[in-house]
Structure 1
Amino acid sequence: MEWYFALAFLISMVIGLMFFAVPVAFAFMATNIIGSLVFIGGAGALLQVVDNSTSLITRFQLAPVPFFIFMGSLFFYSGLAIRVFDTLDKFFGRIPGRLCYLTVAGGTIFSTLTGSSMANTAMLGSLMVPEMQRRGYHWRMSLGPILGTGGLAMIIPPSTLGVLLASLAGIDVGRFLIAGIVPGVLLALFFAILITVQIRVNPSLTPSYDIEEVSWGRGLKLALVNIVPMALVVFMVIGLIIFGIATPTESAAFGVVGVLILTVAFRLFSLSVLKQSMLSTVKVSGMVFFIILNSSIFSQLLAYSGASSGMLNFATSFDVSIALVLVTIFLSLLLLGMFMDPVSIMLITIPIFFPLIAALDINPLWFGILMLIALEMSQTTPPFGLLLFVMLGVAPKGTTLRHVAIAAAPFLGCDLLLIGLMALFPGIVLFLPGLM
C-alpha cells in the first residue's frame, strides 16, 4: 500500500470514530487494533500492540512527568496558586481586562512550576474561566489567553517536553532549558500586547467593575511573601539541572519537595491536600500516559505502514533553500501535531530532522526551540489539538470545539511572530546558553 493510502486509511478511521462521539483516546485505541490487523495481520498483531504498550509508557525519560504533575497539583490544591493569583490581582488594579492579564502573568509563573502544558491549561481553565464567566467576559477573552498561556509550559523551563527532546536529540539538557527562557518570556509579552489590542478594538469584550484598591507598599509586601518564595521551587527544578547536581527526574522530585516546604511554611499542608493532590496526579498522569500510549502506537503504525516516512521524505526531498526546508519541517510538525501527541512526534522526527539540520549547519539549540514552538502550536490547532480538548473538559457547558479554536487563533499568530523574530535574531535563543 502506498504511503498516502495508508495515511488516509488510518486518519480517516480516527476522524470517523470521533465523528460518532467516540472519545479521542478510545478512537486511537480502536484504530490501533484495526490498523495492526490490517498492516501486520493475525494474532501477532494484537500481541505486538500489547508489547508496545508496556514498553512505550515505561520509558525512563517520562519519569519526570508524574513529578511535575504532582508539583502542580500540590501548588493548586494547597492554595498556593490562589495566593499567587490574588497577589497579582491586586497589582493589576482597575486595568480593563485585568483577569486576562492575570491569566498571562499567573500562567507564566505556573509554567515554571509544572513543566506540563496540559497541567497548566487545566489549572488555568478550572481557576479562571468560571470567574471570567461570572464577571461577564466574552468567551474569546476567557478561553484564548488560557490556551495561549497554557502552552508556555512547553517552552519555559522546566519543560517536560524540553527535557525529553534534549535527551533524544543528544543536546545538553541544562543549556536547552535555559535557551527557552527568553523566547517564553517574549511570548508571554506578545500575549499581553495582543490582549491590549483586542480590548482597545472592542472594549465590550471585557466588562468593568469595582475592586478594592491596594497601596503599593502593601502590594509589594504581598509579593515578597506570596510570590518571591516560588523562586525556591524554580531553583530546585532548574538550578539543580543547570549546575549538574541532579538529573531531570531527580530535580523534578526536588521540585515536589520545594512545594511541600512552601505548603508547610504557609501552614497550608494537610492530609486532605496531600490526598487530593495524589488523586489528581494519578488521574491526570493516567490520562496523559493513556493518550501517549495510544498515540505512540498510532505513530508506530504510521511508521510501519510507511505513511510517516513517506510524508516526511516527500516534505524534505526537494532541492531548495534552508529557509524553505525549515518552513517545510515546521509545517510537517504542525500537521503531525494535529493527530499525534508531541512525544510520538519527537520519537518519529528527531532521528530524521536533527541529522538534516546538522548537515545544513543549523544550531541544534535554536532548532530545538523552534520544534517546541511548533509542537506547542500544534496542540492548539484543530481538529485534534490536545489542549483544545483539555480546555473543553474544564470550560462551561455549551462551549464547542469551534469556540475554543476561534479563541486560540490570535495567540497562534503570536507564536508565528516569535518564530519570525528568532529567524532574524537567533540571539533570542542562543544568548543565555552562550553565557553558560
Structure 2
Amino acid sequence: MLEWYSVIALVVGPLLVLMILGLPVAFSFLAVNIVGSYILLGGMSGVRQVVMNTIDSVSSFTLVPVALFMIMGEGMFQSRIAIDLMDTLDKWFGRLRGRLAFMAVGGGVLFSSLTGNSMGAIALLGSSLVPEMEKRGYKKPMTLGPILGSAGLAIMIPPSSLAVVLGVVAELSIGRILIGIIVPGLLMAVLYTLYIYVRVTLEPDLAPSFDVEPVPMSEKLHATAVNILPLGLVVFSVVGVIFLGWATPSEAAATGAFATLALAAMKRRLTWNVFSKSILGSANISVMVLLIVSGAVTFTQLLAFTGATFGMVDAIISLDIGPGAIVLTMLGAVIFLGMFMGPLPIMLITLPIFIPVILEFGFDPIWFAAMYLVAIETGSTSPPLGGALFVMKAVAPKGTTMNEIYRAATPFIICDLAAILILFFVPQLVTFPVEYMFR
C-alpha cells in the first residue's frame, strides 16, 4: 500500500506536467484518471469505475445553473444591454474627478450581478472605457487597474458560475454559497472605490478633471428608468428568489436567463442572430466547464479511494501551527497558483484537499468558500501569468506593456488581500446573511 504522499505525487505530478505541456485541462484530468485508476484501483475494473463516475458527475442537476448563467451573460453582451448600462452611469457621474475609474467599478459591480463572466467584463469595460480614459489624459494606474479589479467581481457577486462549480466539487450548498459571497463582493467594491478616491485626491494628475456636457435631471431619470431599473428585475430573478426561498439555484438560474432574454425582447433586440449567438456561446463555454468538472470529480474520488485525502488531512492537522494559520496558508497557495494557472484547474486540484481539512477543524465551509473565491480572483489578476492580465493586454491601447499592466493591478491585489483578512477576522460578513436566509 503506497503512502499518501506517494499517491499525491503519482497523480498530481503528471497532471501538472500535462497542463504545463499545453494539453487542455479536461483531457489532462481524463488521462491521469484513466492511468491512475488502472494502476491504483485494480486494472480495468478501476477504469470502468472511472467511466461510471464521469457519467454520474455530468448528469448532476446541480450543474444546470452553469449553462443558464452563461446564457444570461451572453444575452447581456450580444443585445448590447451592457452598453446601455454604461451610458447611463456616465450621465450620473458627471464631473466627478476620476469619474471614468469610478464608472469601471460601478460597471463591474452591475455587470457581475448580471453576467458572472469576469473575462467578458474585462473585454467590454476595457474596450469601451480605456480609449476614453486615455483620450482624457488618465494615467495607466487609473485606466487599467480599476477595470482589472472590478471586472473580477464577477466571481464574487451572483450569478457566479465558479461558485456553482465550487459547490459541486466541494459538495456544498450552492444556494448558501451564492448568498454568502454577496457581502464579500460588495466589500471588495468598496475597497476599490476608497483606493481610487484616495489616490486621485493625492495625485490629481492620474485622473485629470475635464468638462462634460451637463445632463438634465429629467434625462438622467429617464435613462435610469429605461436602462437600469429593468435590470433590477433580472437581479431579483436570480438573487431575490433564492433569498426569499421561492426557488432553488437551478430554478433561479432559469428565471434569470428568461428575464434577460425577455428584457432584450422588450428592447426589440432579441433578433435570431442575438439569440443564436447567446445560446451557442453559452453552449461552448458550458461544455468546456462540464468536461473539466467531470474529470475533477473523478480525480477527487481517486484520491479518496486510495486514502491519499485522509492521509494528507491527518498530516496537515498534525502540523505544529494553529488552524487559522493553516487556513491562511491554503489561501496563499491558491493565490500563488493563480499566478500560473486558470481558476478552474486550481479549484479542481485544491478543493478535494482543502475542504476535508476545513471540516476537520470545524470551520464553516461557506465562510472558507467565500475567502477562497476572493483568493481565486486575486490569483487571476496576479503577475506573471494571471489570466485577467492577458485579457487586459488584448484590449489595452497599442503600446501598453505587461509591466504597466502588472503595476496597475498591484494596488487592487492589495485591496483583495485586505478583503481576505477582513473576512478572516469578521466571518459574520459571510455567515450572517446565510444564517438569516436559511434559518
Could you say whether these structures have the same fold, taking a TM-score greater than 0.5 normalized by the shorter chain as the test? yes
Change (3 A) 1:4 1:338: farther
Spell out the pairing of 1:34-433 with structure 2 (5 A cutoff): 61-282=62-283, 285=286, 292=292, 317-433=318-434
Tell me how far apart the structure 2 counterparts of residues 410 and 379 of structure 1 sit (CA, whole Å): 14
Write the deviation string for residues 223-276 of structure 1: whole angstroms up to 9, x where unpaired: 233211111111212233344544433322321210122122223332333244
- State the SS of the aligned residue for 1:229: helix
On the 8 A contact 2:66/2:164 being kept in 1, the answer is: no
Offset, 1:283: 5.5
Write the deviation string for residues 80-132 of structure 1: whole angstroms up to 9, x where unpaired: 11221111111111112211111110110111111232333333233323333
On the 8 A contact 2:309/2:353 being kept in 1, the answer is: no
On the 8 A contact 1:87/1:223 being kept in 2, the answer is: yes
Offset, 1:366: 1.3
Change (3 A) 1:36 1:399: farther
Write the deviation string for residues 283-334 of structure 1: whole angstroms up to 9, x where unpaired: 55567678x489959988x979999999988766512112211111112222
Tell me how far apart the structure 1 counterparts of residues 172 and 38 of structure 2 sit (CA, whole Å): 38
Change (3 A) 1:400 1:253: farther
Letter of the 1:335 partner, please give it.
F
Tell me how far apart the structure 1 counterparts of residues 333 and 356 of structure 2 sit (CA, whole Å): 16
Tell me how far apart the structure 1 counterparts of residues 246 and 412 of structure 2 sit (CA, whole Å): 37
- Structure 2 residue ranges without an equivalent (≥5): none
Letter of the 1:250 partner, please give it.
E
Letter of the 2:338 partner, please give it.
G
Change (3 A) 1:7 1:259: closer
TM-score of the superposed pair, with normalisation by structure 2? 0.80
Tell me how far apart the structure 2 counterparts of residues 12 and 76 of structure 1 sit (CA, whole Å): 36
Tell me how far apart the structure 1 counterparts of residues 60 and 398 of structure 2 sit (CA, whole Å): 37
Structure 1 range deviating more: 411-420 or 59-68: 59-68
Cα RMSD over matched residues? 3.9
Change (3 A) 1:308 1:435: closer
On the 8 A contact 2:389/2:406 being kept in 1, the answer is: yes
Tell me how far apart the structure 1 counterparts of residues 285 and 236 of structure 2 sit (CA, whole Å): 25
Write the deviation string for residues 144-174 of structure 1: whole angstroms up to 9, x where unpaired: 1111112111111222222232344343332
Structure 1 range deviating more: 266-275 or 89-98: 266-275
Change (3 A) 1:306 1:206: farther
TM-score of the superposed pair, with normalisation by structure 1? 0.80
Tell me how far apart the structure 2 counterparts of residues 295 and 405 of structure 1 sit (CA, whole Å): 33
Tell me how far apart the structure 1 counterparts of residues 31 and 177 of structure 2 sit (CA, whole Å): 39
On the 8 A contact 1:108/1:152 being kept in 2, the answer is: yes
Offset, 1:183: 1.4
On the 8 A contact 1:4/1:307 being kept in 2, the answer is: no
Tell me how far apart the structure 1 counterparts of residues 267 and 63 of structure 2 sit (CA, whole Å): 31
Letter of the 1:369 partner, please give it.
A
Tell me how far apart the structure 2 counterparts of residues 96 and 335 of structure 1 sit (CA, whole Å): 35
- State the SS of the aligned residue for 2:265: helix
Change (3 A) 1:134 1:296: farther
Letter of the 2:234 partner, please give it.
V
Structure 1 range deviating more: 114-123 or 141-150: 114-123
On the 8 A contact 1:71/1:259 being kept in 2, the answer is: yes
On the 8 A contact 1:316/1:329 being kept in 2, the answer is: no
- Structure 1 residue ranges without an equivalent (≥5): 18-23
On the 8 A contact 1:191/1:411 being kept in 2, the answer is: yes
Change (3 A) 1:296 1:364: closer
Letter of the 1:234 partner, please give it.
V
Tell me how far apart the structure 1 counterparts of residues 132 and 296 of structure 2 sit (CA, whole Å): 37
Change (3 A) 1:93 1:331: same
Structure 1 range deviating more: 190-199 or 378-387: 378-387
Structure 1 range deviating more: 344-353 or 112-121: 344-353
On the 8 A contact 1:65/1:160 being kept in 2, the answer is: yes
Offset, 1:76: 2.0
Tell me how far apart the structure 1 counterparts of residues 329 and 132 of structure 2 sit (CA, whole Å): 41
Letter of the 1:424 partner, please give it.
F
Letter of the 1:85 partner, please give it.
M
Letter of the 1:323 partner, please give it.
G
Offset, 1:380: 1.5
Letter of the 1:360 partner, please give it.
F
Offset, 1:215: 3.4
Tell me how far apart the structure 2 counterparts of residues 53 and 404 of structure 1 sit (CA, whole Å): 40
On the 8 A contact 1:155/1:373 being kept in 2, the answer is: yes
Q: Which residue of 2 aligns with 1:20?
A: none
Write the deviation string for residues 170-227 of structure 1: whole angstroms up to 9, x where unpaired: 4333232222121111110111111122223332222433211123444234223321
Write the deviation string for residues 58-96 of structure 1: whole angstroms up to 9, x where unpaired: 765544333222212221222211221111111111112
Change (3 A) 1:281 1:158: closer
On the 8 A contact 2:29/2:299 being kept in 1, the answer is: no
Change (3 A) 1:375 1:286: same
Change (3 A) 1:285 1:132: farther
Letter of the 1:387 partner, please give it.
A
Spell out the pairing of 1:8-27 with structure 2 (5 A cutoff): 26=23
